[in-house]
């Protein structure tokens, strides 16, 4: 990709307020969007996330009613993604999940895995003082996955809209009742609708570069 093409992708992505409900994202392209999340960076590589992809019309309708920031977007989008973060106990250095990540996913030898756990342990109670810090830490990683998915989508001319405006408790209940969420392990962080725009996007309005960047040469 050259610089103009990259700029086109960056300008293409916008918070799409209404999707063309007749257009579906093709499975192969959707998979690449999801790869954007799966392959995203995460602190110490712990991937503290899970993505629920809702294609089902009835569930989208139900969810749109508890997401006040995205009623139209959710009911018209092709796919609605709910980003779940691992709970604090899941990402503690002595958890079964961390053991699985280090040994089964990263295939680290026992001594390296123990060293990593020791490193993680040193953060607990210091940098990450309590469960609230641990939960924010997991949530932060999810936003990186979200951003990576939105940019992957934009590269494929797929539109998106982050939806943070929601009744999290009500959304959680719907997912728990459907057996889609185990609150012992995960909690809802944010959501995003993907699809194809119905209307043209307005031009991007942003602060000038010199307001947001400080150079040190």
Ligand X SMILES: Cc1cc2nc3c(=O)[nH]c(=O)nc-3n(C[C@H](O)[C@H](O)[C@H](O)COP(=O)(O)O)c2cc1C
> Least distance in Å: CB of 122 to ligand X?
30
42 vs 113, beta carbon nearer ligand X:
42
144 vs 156, beta carbon nearer ligand X:
144
Q: How far apart are CA 122 and CA 14, in angstroms?
A: 40
Written as six digits, the tokens of 131 are: 């469960």
> Least distance in Å: CB of 40 to ligand X?
15
Q: State which H helix or E strand residue 195 sits in.
A: strand 186-195
HSE (CB half, 13 Å, CA atoms) of 109? 2
Residues binding ligand X: number (CB under 6 A): 12
Angle made by CA atoms 19, 21, 27, in degrees to the nearest 5: 95
Written as six digits, the tokens of 175 are: 């997912």
Name residues contacting ligand X, limited to 195-214 (CB under 6 A). Answer: 204
CB 150 within 8 A of CB 180: no
> Least distance in Å: CB of 182 to ligand X?
24
87 vs 160, beta carbon nearer ligand X:
160
Name residues contacting ligand X, limited to 139-168 (CB under 6 A). Answer: 161-165
116 vs 149, beta carbon nearer ligand X:
149
Name residues contacting ligand X, limited to 6-35 (CB under 6 A). Answer: 14-15, 17
CB 63 within 8 A of CB 180: no
Torsion, Cα 196 176 97 37, to 10 degrees, reads 0
* Cα dihedral across residues 154, 37, 212, 70: positive or negative: positive
3 vs 202, beta carbon nearer ligand X:
202
> Least distance in Å: CB of 32 to ligand X?
21
- Chosen residue from 36, 48, 70, 195 binding ligand X by CB under 6 A: 70
- Chosen residue from 69, 113, 123, 185 binding ligand X by CB under 6 A: 69
DSSP string, 120-131: HHHHBTTTB-SH
Residue numbers at the binding site for ligand X (CB under 6 A): 14-15, 17, 69-70, 161-165, 190, 204
């Amino acid at each position: 990709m050259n610089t103009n093409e990259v700029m086109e992708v960056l300008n293409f992505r916008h918070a799409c307020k209404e999707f063309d409900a007749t257009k579906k994202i093709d499975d192969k392209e959707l998979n690449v969007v999801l790869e954007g999340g799966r392959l995203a960076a995460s602190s110490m590589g712990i991937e503290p996330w899970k993505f629920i992809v809702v294609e089902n019309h009835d569930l989208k309708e139900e969810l749109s009613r508890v997401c006040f920031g995205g009623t139209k977007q959710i009911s018209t989008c092709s796919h609605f993604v709910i980003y779940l973060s691992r709970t604090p106990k899941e990402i503690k250095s002595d958890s079964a999940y961390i053991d699985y990540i280090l040994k089964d996913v990263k295939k680290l030898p026992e001594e390296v895995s123990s060293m990593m756990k020791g490193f993680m342990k040193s953060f607990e109670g210091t940098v990450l003082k309590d469960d609230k810090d641990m939960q924010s830490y997991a949530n932060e990683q999810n936003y990186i996955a979200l951003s990576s998915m939105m940019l992957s989508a934009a590269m494929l001319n797929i539109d998106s809209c982050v939806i943070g405006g929601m009744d999290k408790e009500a959304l959680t209940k719907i997912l728990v009742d459907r057996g889609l969420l185990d609150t012992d392990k995960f909690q809802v962080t944010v959501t995003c609708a993907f699809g194809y725009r119905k209307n043209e996007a307005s031009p991007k309005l942003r602060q000038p570069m010199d307001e947001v960047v400080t150079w040190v040469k």
